[in-house]
A and B are shown apart, each in its own frame.
Chain A
Amino acid sequence: MKKKYVFILSFLFVINYTYGQNKNISFFGLHRTPINYTTLRGNAVSGDTISNKQGTGGFTFIDLGIVGKPSDKISATAIMRGKNEFGAFFNTGASAEIRQITLEGTIADKFAFQVGDIDIGLTPYTFYNNDEIYNTYEADIFKIRRDVVHYENFNNGNKWRVQGFDASTKAALNKKILKQISFRGFATRSRANNQQLPTTTLYYLNPDRLLVGGKLGVIQSKYFKTSGNLVHFFDITGTSLDSSYSLKNTVLTNDFEVMFLDKQIKMGLRGEAGQSFYRYSERYPLREVNKNDYFYDASLFVKNKKIKLEVGYRNVGPQFYSPSAQSLRIINEISPSMFPTVNMGNNARVQTLLDRVTDLNIYNKSITQRLMPFLPQYGNVQPYGIATPNRSGFTANISNTQDSLMNFEVGADLLSEIVGEGSFSLRKFTSLRAGNQLNLYKLINTKRIIQLRGAARMENTTRSGSVPVNFKSLLVDAGALFEIAKRFDFSLGYKYLNASGNEYLAIRDDFNDITSFNTFEMKSSQGWYTVGLQYRIANNSIVSLHSNLLAYQNKQDAMNSFNINQIFLFYSLGF
């Protein structure tokens, strides 16, 4: 069964090899092979005869894209994947699938459209796939690892991969009154009902769930622009015969930017405000919940050619629900797929920095109606991104505006809860972050890349009163890259995360109501050291060898401390 795909792909490659690109049909592709040899050591598995302690893993795949472009205005793309898991022989681990099919083009030179597997993003409060952790200034050697999981998980920037259509148009108007007006609309099926075809007798539980929305934008002039955004996430009751629940979640927002000054120094005000309308009902037992809440976010910015300063205030209501902006990229409640248990199989191993950068199986592709559980050590101040509900306070950020010798960012969030969770007292959140990238090669005027990176983020959560909270975390990044020969790089990377204190983690039901709290106490640190060599074959092709050590120290229970050693070999060829 599997062998056939090898033949198919091999034949297609014959065609590709022989004929390459063509003016109307073209091919592109990506061949990747990440392989790792990993060992688990330390107290957590000392004397453990049950848990896995070492293993070799990886896979190789070829994504072959075919682009049919019958005219300049329309194209169809299909990406086929042939994949083979390592450790499987005689094709037992081979699989083939269609990774993406997309049609795109323009209609009457006015409407742009995409149909099929598409990536959609709007604003941070409406449709936004938040980064899994602060990683802007992490070392390049980590970015290579992160890029693998992002590609596999369809994390294209901060967009969500969805299936449906997206169309947009814009029109230039009278320049004195309105410079431009634009419209965008999309409709996707987030989930099909769980119908098993063909059938006539099955009763269904899950109805079809759609996600539709759009944006109406107006540019009045360079001094003022605004847009209205809509995202509607809903079940179509009746598409399952026995729908046990029904969701309707609408988010309606308006974002704007007003420029007061537009000369060498630019100054203005930008922001977004809106409301969510949440209705969720269940049949067994019969219950319906309606929650409406609002948010607003405004910031004053000043910038010139080199630097940008932004200071703002935001208030996101405790019952503001925007699933397409609040769903998490990582599923936090599951164990890593590599070494999932420790201590004779009695304890689940915690997710570490290494797992969250490299483990494909903990990544999430779906937009969920319920606020997903999170791990506070990886982000407690705004775990659901800017749209995290129940937050208000000031934010500030300074950064450079263009690539230069030194790129940097310094930011702070001083937030607090709007209503108490499990207590009348409110949590206070402080988050400080700073990052820097020093392009030394520009300083010493050499063509060989020499780059240093460093970043730190400190979070502090406190609550006074009868149920106090005091939780701190520190995330540090450091890295260096030296091009020791042409296209041949030596890289160093370091990540450190220290977390300590206590928290109460909310447990939510399907209505997003908090039903109870889990007491969370942590005193741990982890450091991830990596060193590697990489050869850049071409702009989109690389071969790389990394050595990794992750030391996880549980300071409350030394028996749960462990070390992970990993040799990682990576080959990626784009064509």
Chain B
Amino acid sequence: MNFFCKKHRFFIIVHFLVCSATIEQASADSLSISKLYNNISFDSIGRVKLNFSGVARFEASYRNMHQLYGGMRPRVIFVNGWQNTPFLELTCRGERGPVKFDFGMAFMHGYMGFDQKVQPSYGQLFQRMGGRAKVPTRIGMVELTINESHKLSSLTLGANIQRFNEFYRPPWLWYRSSKEQFSNYYSNISAKFDNRYIYGGIQGLGIEITELPKQFSTTLLLGKTAGSGFFNNTIGIAPAIVFVGGKVSKSFGRHNIAYNSSNSMGYEENFNNNYKSASIHTITSEFYHNKFTFFSEIGAGRYQNVLVKKDWNPAVVMKMNFNRKNFLKLPFSVQYFYMGRNLYNLVSEVMNSAVYDTDVLGLQSKGAYDITFLPGLVTDLGILTNNRHGVNTDVEFQIRRLKASFGLGWNQELSNEFNVITFEHRNFAAIRSRFAFYVNSFGPYNDLVQFFMRNFERIKIEENPDSISYRKSYNTVNFNLKYKTSVFGRTLYAFNFINCNTVSDVVSPFPIFSDASFFRYIYEEATITYNFASKFHIIFQYGYEIARGNKRTTLGENGNPMNQTGVSKGIGLDYNLNEIASIYIRHTWFDHKDKSFVLDNLKGTETSLEFKIFF
């Protein structure tokens, strides 16, 4: 039976797309992973060649806290990390003549045991099912996708980017050896962010046509996105499409200009009369010069529901990346951005710090589980958020084996909407994030917001909102050092990262480390890795964090403002069994204390064992 004869080609494509489309649960976490694995190529059988790739990952961790914290359990065992971490992923790619296709699936395994009183015995889930097919046509190359990841532009479809600590291992790390991981981190001076986050997952259909005449290309996306979960049950449109996005692009040699559109629409889950929509339309341009590159995105967006109909607000992002050929003889970049207040796009790189997404009763959507709203967010360098404008600069330099980058950022609210500052705890963030999953009011003071591998905290400014005339001003400094040397003939890497943030009511190009600031934050992170044997790495990590408020913020039980100190010390051992399998052990001692808020006091250890195999 030849499924791949010309007659059946269309059937095959439709068949696997339908297979994929029927899966309702897609995970953005694993969507782009398959692109990064190498394949094992198999012999051609018949007239079709298939490639299989995949990864199996087992992770078990045990956290032991010395006392109760925020109502959570003092001891916790996690198997396979967070809720949606797959234990096994499989991707199959095929090629028949001009048609290329692939599909993948992921499974989770919680190791819940067989006790009938507590958990289903082995109720693991299909976690992901997606696929794509590439078909050359007369007009161009058509790529059809189901439940796969896409990128339109920073403001329309992508995802929040974040920096990860090299010590804590995200589930999707694609490095096959520790040597590769640390070498890669060292090689790229500014490689601070995870590439996974440049994509946004689409649970639905994607049509991309490239190689059109006149260097045009276009993309159309229909479905749901990872961040569009609050837009549900679109009435009158079948199936429930809650995201429509697209792009039309025209290239001029290396240069490019494109129109991008992102539209989320739907009804609040429990209130069918609560229609919501969020749209943003932008023009992006990329210009390449032998001394610099220029990127820009200019557009407008808005948000509305039955209670509020907000106006279109502008969005501007411009960035110049200079290479070494400039007058400084150093690579550096300058970015300017202006994000209107009503820009609300949960599926983009723009974090929401200004739009209070409500239901018809005026309450926060999804209640305690709404983690999309971070009022007054303290952003990292280069991170965009709405109701802000600002400038970010970054310079890189190298002195022999020492690589360094220094970044300075300033941004300010366009209007003071909330008397709240939300900042990120970078110290042992991966551990903190598992204190509770995806909630916005955790902790002894209900002010912690729990993300995937991230942890935020809110601090309130105790002033009458009606009497406020200032707009909060945010300053950020990043200083990153990377050093490589050889000890006893073996490679040793030393990494150091410093991050400082302040929030104040006055405009300043530099952080203000005094009580004049509402909030001050300093984070120091040092990591040393040593390849002491051919297959072994030992890793040491030290983190230190200071977060302080001033007297204008909420005061603790002893009448003083937030005064937090956090320390983490970690040791790890990586054993690369061979080119495809590795074992990773991590142990962390962590300690966090607020001298003013007496309940904000935690101390403990976490040990994890990870075993990973690539196919």
Chain A positions near chain B (C-beta within 8 angstroms)? 1, 3-5, 7-8, 10-11, 14-15, 17-20, 22-25, 66, 68, 70-71, 73-74, 76, 78, 96-101, 103, 105, 107-108, 115-117, 161-165, 188-195, 197-201, 204, 206, 208-210, 236-241, 364-367
Contact = CB atoms under 8 A, between A and B. Distances in A.
A191 B73 contact: no
A321 to B, nearest CB: 18
Contacts of A14: 3, 15
A103 B88 CA distance: 10
A197 B615 contact: no
B208 to A, nearest CB: 23
Interface stretch (B17-25, B265-273, B383-391): B17-25
B615 A96 contact: no
Given A163-B112, A206-B118, A200 B79 contact: no
B1 A17 contact: yes
B113 A189 contact: yes
Nearest to A202: B71
Interface in B46-97: 46, 48, 50, 52, 54, 56, 58, 64, 68, 70-77, 79, 83, 87-88, 90, 92
B71 A198 contact: no
A200 B71 contact: yes
Interface string B99-129: 0000101010111111111110111111001
B581 interface: yes
B52 A366 contact: no
Interface stretch (B154-162, B234-242, B405-413, B432-440): B432-440
Given A96-B126, A241-B71, A365-B121, A191 B58 contact: no
Given A103-B611, A163-B113, A238-B73, A15 B50 contact: yes
A76 B75 contact: no
Interface string B1-38: 10100000000000110110011100000000000000
A66 B90 contact: yes
A68 B356 CA distance: 48
B614 A70 contact: yes
Nearest to A115: B58
Given A7-B22, A198-B83, A161 B3 contact: no
Contacts of B109: 98, 101, 116-117, 163
Contacts of A162: 113-114
Contact of A24 (B40, B73, B121): B40
**Dominant secondary structure of chain A at its interface with chain B:** mixed
Nearest to A237: B75
A209 B113 contact: yes
A161 B114 contact: yes
Contacts of A197: 83, 437
B42 interface: yes
B611 A191 contact: no
Given A11-B15, A161-B114, A115 B119 contact: no
B368 interface: yes
A200 B436 contact: yes
Contact of B107 (A11, A98, A236): A98
Contacts of A191: 112-115, 118-119
Contacts of B111: 163-164, 188-189, 192
Contacts of B110: 192
Given A22-B42, A71-B580, A197-B437, A165 B75 contact: no
B470 interface: no
Nearest to B68: A241
Closest 9 pairs (CB-CB, A-B):
A4-B22, A238-B75, A198-B437, A191-B115, A365-B114, A98-B124, A191-B113, A238-B74, A192-B112
Interface in B562-580: 577-578, 580
Nearest to B448: A200
B337 interface: no
A101 B55 CA distance: 12
A440 to B, nearest CB: 42
Nearest to B113: A191
Contacts of A210: 77
Interface size class of B (residues with CB under 8 A): 35 or more
A121 to B, nearest CB: 15
Contacts of B368: 200
B442 interface: yes
A193 B586 CA distance: 24
6 contacts: A8-B105, A11-B103, A19-B48, A20-B45, A117-B109, A241-B74
B135 interface: no
Contacts of B124: 97-98, 101
B193 interface: no
Contact of A76 (B50, B56, B74, B77): B56
B613 interface: yes
Given A4-B24, A238-B64, 9 more contacts: A8-B126, A14-B15, A19-B48, A78-B107, A107-B583, A189-B79, A191-B119, A192-B112, A367-B114
B369 interface: yes
Contacts of A105: 581
Contacts of A240: 73
A239 B24 CA distance: 32
Given A3-B22, A74-B581, A239 B76 contact: yes
A195 B435 CA distance: 13
A334 to B, nearest CB: 11
B520 to A, nearest CB: 28
Contacts of B19: 4, 7-8, 10-11
Given A18-B48, A98-B107, A208-B77, A70 B613 contact: yes
Nearest to B121: A365
Contacts of B52: 22, 24-25, 68
Contacts of B22: 3-4, 7-8
Contacts of A20: 45
A409 to B, nearest CB: 32
B108 to A, nearest CB: 8
Contact of A236 (B50, B77, B105, B581): B77
A93 to B, nearest CB: 17
Interface centre among B3, B18, B72, B126 (most CB of A within 10 A): B126
A366 to B, nearest CB: 4
B155 to A, nearest CB: 29
Q: Which of B76, B87, B115 has the most CB of A within 10 A?
A: B115
Contacts of B48: 18-19
B73 A204 contact: yes
Contacts of A68: 52, 54, 56, 90, 615
Contacts of A74: 580-581, 613
Contacts of A97: 122-124
Contacts of B613: 70, 74, 76, 103
Nearest to A2: B22
Which of the listed residues B73, B441, B581, B614 has the most CB atoms from chain A within 10 Å of its own CB? B73
A255 to B, nearest CB: 27
Nearest to B76: A239
A423 B472 CA distance: 82
Contact of B615 (A8, A70, A117): A70
Contacts of A5: 126
B118 A194 contact: yes
B24 A99 contact: no
B112 A70 contact: no
Given A4-B23, A25-B52, A101-B88, A70 B40 contact: yes
A287 B88 CA distance: 44
Contact of B115 (A11, A18, A76, A366): A366
A112 to B, nearest CB: 13
Contacts of A71: 578, 580
Contacts of A116: 58, 87, 109
Contact of B77 (A19, A204, A239): A239
A236 B63 CA distance: 11
A3 B18 CA distance: 10
Given A116-B58, A189-B112, A190-B115, A107 B577 contact: yes
Contacts of A190: 113-115
